[in-house]
Amino acid sequence: MSLYQRTYQHSIEHPETFWAEQAKKLPWYTPPSTILTYDDQQHARWFGDGELNICYAAIDYHVEQGRGDQPAIYWDSPVTQSKQTINYLELRDRVARFAGGLAKLGVTKG
């Protein structure tokens, strides 16, 4: 059985354990104390009390871990026949400029 197959099987047979292991790899502001809960209608809620900033986790964290020069986005458009690669450092800078533009327009949290 391949590593992929073993990992998949583990995720199916022990979903809470599997996702708890994966969650440890994320840069949580507040790590979750519970992995999976259900409401009265049996709707799942994953990592209910955990807090993280998805932008930080997706971009800044990679830069801090020394991966700033690695590709973050690959763009390959068959329509325009154009290709582009953006690394984590450049993506972080673009996101910061965009956030600054939104702030100048008065956009705030919420």
Q: How high is the pLDDT of residue 109?
A: 86
Partners of 87 in beta bridges: 71
Q: What's the structural domain count of the chain? A: 2
Q: How high is the pLDDT of residue 16?
A: 95
Cα(110)–Cα(103) distance, integer angstroms: 13
Q: How high is the pLDDT of residue 48?
A: 95
Give me the phi and psi of 29, to 5 degrees please. -75, -45
State the residue range of the domain holding 82.
Answer: 54-104
Question: Do 92 and 63 meet the contact criterion of CB atoms below 8 Å apart?
Answer: yes
pLDDT tens per residue across all 110 residues of the chain: 899 999 999 999 999 999 999 999 999 999 999 999 999 999 999 999 999 999 999 999 999 999 999 999 999 999 999 999 999 999 999 999 999 999 999 999 88
Cβ neighbours for 67, distance < 8 A, ≥ 6 positions apart: 88
Asked if 15 and 37 sit in the same domain, the reply is yes
Query: Is the pTM here over 0.85, yes or no?
Result: no
Asked if 40 and 58 sit in the same domain, the reply is no
Asked if 81 and 62 sit in the same domain, the reply is yes
